[in-house]
Amino acid sequence: MLFKKKGLFTVSDAMRVIEIASREDPREIIIMCEAIDDEAKRRLWDYAKGVELMADLTGEERSVKMEILEGYVSDKVKGIEL
């Protein structure tokens, strides 16, 4: 899943991404933004680690790859606008 945000990516944006991702169950989450808050970055990484830990506890083979692209937001790339 690709999420795009022009401007600063904040904690509230991270919570929206986590809410959508928990319903969709993606294998990979890509965040494309101009800048990201440190707290938002930590929330996203904590979500990815939490998914791994819960999968280990339940015996599932599940993980989420988290990638954050910071600097430029392309209008040509299709993704979920925040």
- Looking up residue 27, the CATH number of its domain turns out to be 3.30.750
Q: Output the six-digit token pair for 48.
A: 């990815």
Q: pLDDT tens for residues 51-68? A: 999 999 998 888 899 999
**Domain assignment of residue 44, given as a range:** 2-81
Q: Which helix (H) or strand (E) holds 78?
A: none
Say if CB 2 and CB 30 are below 8 A apart: yes
Q: pLDDT tens for residues 36-47? A: 999 999 999 999
* Other beta carbons less than 10 A from residue 12's beta carbon: 11
Q: What is the pTM of this model?
A: 0.86
Question: How many distinct structural domains can be found in the chain?
Answer: 1
